[in-house]
Structure 1
Amino acid sequence: MVKSSMSRMLAGNGLFYPIIGFASFIAFLYLSFGDLWVNYSKEINLSFVERNGTQFFVDGKVFYINGWNSYWLMDHAADYNTRPRIRTILQAGAKMGLTVCRTWAFNDAGYNALQISPGKFDEKVFRALDHVIAEARRNGIRLLLSLVNNLQAYGGKTQYVKWAWEEGVALSSSNDSFFYDPSIRRYFKSYVKTVLTRRNIYTGIEYRDDPTIFAWELINEPRCMTDPSGDTLQDWIEEMSTFVKSIDRKHLLTVGLEGFYGPKSPKKTTANPEIWAADLGSDFVRNSILSTVDFASVHVYPDHW
């Protein structure tokens, strides 16, 4: 019986299996570290977005924001099986002519946590955020990066309070201790400094020097209901916005407000969705007019109010 060519190769000099093994190893390396072989930094030249009055500018020309919200980018980039989604969605956004994507630059404790505990970070997840920024740059998309969540999802202020409890800090039972407590404020400042001064492993650029980042957002939808006067949240915004600007004066900064008017505003009954909105401890105008805050934002939920 005449053996087939495949049979001869399998039974021949033993080269077939080593070749297959080597090819598999190369494939593994590419899937695991392929991003390191891509030169992101020279794909697209970007300039910082600046504000002049009520308009944004890039290189002296008016810049219009046309974008979307994908909070999950870093989380998905941290897992190799979901990482390709980052490139897919950013390429799709670029093809549609979109200019800015809002996403999380935080994940406090839990699965794929960026910050495992105060001041302790997972390098794998930090590299995932590096990847998100590098891919955005590659596709000409700028990022609005949020630094913490008011809600419990992805840790948020609840996790900061839990960390303080675990370290023996005497706190009230409210998650609003995030805004009050000096120890927690120090935790957050340490986190912010680490993120802003992070050097991207793919581009070699520190975040604070990277024009791919459109702006920083202090906190997603802040509320401090234990102080409906708004004084506590206002003090926190003043301190944290000043701190961010002390490290990074190149990027724009916003608070991350929902857009409610406070108890002293004449618009609390005419513009707010309901009476309760004036008692959340935030005030859209008061929180936004600080010299360290560059622009305001509103979160719209038409299905709810």
Structure 2
Amino acid sequence: MFLKMLEGNRRMIYPVIGFASCIALLFLSFGDIWVNNVDKRELESLSFVKRNGTHFTVDDKIFYVSGWNSYWLMDQAVEESSRPRVNEVLQIGAKMGLSVCRTWAFNDGTYNALQISHGQFDERVFKALDHVIAEARRQRIRLLLSLVNNLQAFGGKAQYVKWAYEEGVSMNSTNDSFFFNPSIRHYFKNYIKAVLTRRNTITGIEYRNDPTIFAWELMNEPRCMSDPSGETLQDWIEEMSIFVKSIDKNHLLTVGLEGFYGSKSPKGLTMNPGPWAGELGSDFIRNSNISTIDFTTVHIYPDQWFNFKLEIEEKMEFVSKWMDSHIEDGDKELNKPVVFTEFGLSNLSKGFRESDRERLYKTVLDIVYKSALGNKSGAGAFAWQFLVRGMEKYNDDFGFVPAETSHTYQLMSNHSCKLALIQGSPTSRRVCLTML
């Protein structure tokens, strides 16, 4: 499909692809070069990622994201016994040539909680987050840090509502009170300020001044189903994004959207995976089209969204249309980068084969690469999720250990190297070229 779409430009594109493939094969044999050949002075002089229209930039050069999710980094950094897992997965990402890891910068009211109760923080856990950021900087991996969960895992919006109830705040019983109750909005602003102004005990740098952080994400998968009109969530996004920007003018900011179109969106009926997706109180275009939101995000879970009913061919057809639609939105409607911050295929699917997951990964990465070649808004993708050995309880039906999935490891490494060759980063291009 990719080659057919580029048939008219094949004389120009084929050599690029062939050249990149050759380099990628060499890269797979010398992955350590990604880390070991980076000059120490370059490690010290990390620049902030900026945005110019539909592109991310670093030092005025285009920056494409090759990323992954390991939501558990802060949690595992708390204890000395589990901290090596953090270092290991960041080292693996660096060896694969990946550039950004998405992880949680929250844990509210649960085990190893960063925020023990409203406005009360565990310094031991904050130091764990310090370690994550410092180690990521050492490995030259940037971090996309999410600030709260829509889901109840690690506390989420439900925990904020519970704290407010315990303090006698009068409110609606729904967990969506998180979005519209003034007291809870104040709670969350206090949390944002505490995190953004935190001074890292290892590096001595305030988080808001640390270019290791790629961007902030307001919430993981925000939904406000009590108000399907979208007014409540839109108002919350506007208020919180303005507040973040009032504290931190260095970093990019995104909402954390799944990419669903609202019920009033022209694409709602044609592109959403079902009518239910338009009733969640979110809208991809409207929520993203705010001046204080720098880029937008999309998730890709064809298994979950279709209750495992689709055959693999139908899933890949949906994924291609889903991604192309959002890249088109980034180019024509938003003039902002579009990042696919979660994608995965469940191993609980009927007749699941590892080759099906590999096919999804290849489909997603090929579309991102095609977008980069075409100078379009598709700016990167994050696999869900990377683990290391011994982390079975953190696994879900989408997780995997990169070292145990050689084809996927190779596929993502290849993709990283191909992006490095076209993004204009002197360091990345030099590192890739040293493999010849």
Same fold (TM over 0.5): yes
Alpha-carbon distance change, 128 to 209 in structure 1, aligned in 2, over 3 angstroms: same
Contact 1:260-1:277 at 8 Å conserved across structures:
yes
Q: Which residue of 1 aligns with 2:183?
A: 183
Larger Rg: 1
In 1, the alpha carbon distance for the partners of 2:41 and 2:196 equals 18
What CA distance in whole angstroms lies between the structure 2 residues aligned with 1:262 and 1:165?
A: 31
Once the two structures are TM-superposed, the CA of residue 79 in structure 1 deviates from its matched residue by 1.4
Q: Which residue of 2 is the match for residue 281 of structure 1?
A: 281
Q: Report what 2:433 is aligned to.
A: none
1:268 corresponds to which letter in structure 2? G
Q: Which has the higher helix share?
A: 2
Q: Distance in 2 between matches of 1:302 and 1:169?
A: 40
| Equivalent residue letter for 2:58 | V
Match of 1:132 in 2: 132
**What amino acid is aligned across from residue 282 of structure 1 in structure 2?**
S
Structure possessing the higher relative contact order (Cα contacts under 8 Å, 6 or more residues apart): 2
Equivalent-residue separation in structure 2 for 1:105 and 1:282 (angstroms): 23
Q: Are the equivalent residues in 2 in contact too, given 1:288–1:296 (CA < 8 A)?
A: yes
Q: What's the offset of the Cα at 1:45?
A: 2.4
Looking at structure 1, the residues matched to 42 and 252 of structure 2 have their Cα atoms a distance apart, in angstroms, of 23
| Equivalent position of 2:98 in the other structure | 98
Deviations 1:87-144 (A, max 9, x none): 1000110010000000000000110000001110000000000000000000000000
Rounded to whole Å, the distance in 2 between the matches of 1:126 and 1:67 is 24
Structure 2 counterpart of 1:202: 202
1:192 corresponds in structure 2 to 192
Segments of 4+ in structure 1 off by > 4 A?
Answer: 40-43
Hey, what does 1:75 align to over in structure 2? 75
- CA deviation string 1:61-88 (max 9, x = no partner): 1111000001000000011111001110
Q: CA deviation at 1:156?
A: 0.3
Cα distance in 2 between the residues matched to 1:66 and 1:82: 26
Secondary structure at the aligned position of 1:214 is classed as strand
CA drift of 1:41 comes to 11
Show the counterpart of 1:123: 123
1:260 alignment counterpart: 260
Judged with a 3 Å threshold, the aligned counterparts in structure 2 of structure 1 residues 194 and 77 are, in CA distance, closer, same or farther, namely same
Residue 213 (str. 1) matches residue 213 (str. 2) = yes
Equivalenced residues, count: 266
Q: Which amino acid is 1:275 matched to?
A: P
After superposition, give the CA deviation of every residue in 1:132-163 in whole Å (9 maximum; x if it has no partner).
Answer: 00000000000000000000000000000000
Listed as ranges, the gaps of 5+ residues in structure 1 are 1-39
How far does the alpha carbon of each residue in 1:190-240 deviate from its partner, in whole angstroms, 9 at most, with x for none?
000000000000000000000000000000000000000000000000000
Amino acid at match of 1:115: Q
Q: Please say if 1:157 is aligned against 2:122.
A: no
Structure 1 residues 210, 301: closer, same or farther in 2, change over 3 A? same
Q: Does 1:141 align with 2:141?
A: yes
| Counterpart AA for 2:296 | A
The answer to whether structure 1 residue 64 and structure 2 residue 64 are counterparts is yes
Report the 3-state secondary structure (helix = DSSP H, G, I; strand = E; otherwise coil) of the residue aligned with 1:276. helix
> By how many angstroms is 1:43 displaced?
4.7
- Partner SS state of residue 269, structure 2: coil
Distance 1:77 1:151 in 2: 22
Matched letter for residue 94 of structure 1? A
> What secondary structure sits across from 1:185 in the alignment?
helix
Counterpart in the other structure of 1:46:
46
Name the structure 1 match of 2:397: none
Residue matched to 1:226: 226
Would the alpha carbon gap of residues 191 and 42 (structure 1) be closer, same or farther in structure 2, given more than 3 Å must change? Answer: farther
SS in 1 for 2:133: helix
Q: 3-state DSSP class of the match of 1:159?
A: helix
SS at 1:116 equivalent: strand
Q: CA deviation at 1:173?
A: 1.3
Q: For the residues of structure 1 that align with 2:116 and 2:43, how far apart are their CA atoms?
A: 33
SS in structure 1 at match of 2:198: coil
Counterpart in the other structure of 1:4:
none
Q: Secondary structure at the match of 1:303?
A: helix
Q: Secondary structure at the match of 1:235?
A: helix
Q: Which residue identity lines up with residue 164 of structure 1 in the other structure?
A: A
1:187 partner amino acid:
Y
Q: From the superposition, tell whether residues 89 and 230 of structure 1 become closer, same or farther in structure 2 (CA, over 3 Å).
A: same
**CA deviation after TM superposition for structure 1 residue 172, in Å:** 1.3
Label 1:213 to 1:41 Cα distance change in 2 as closer, same or farther (>3 A). farther
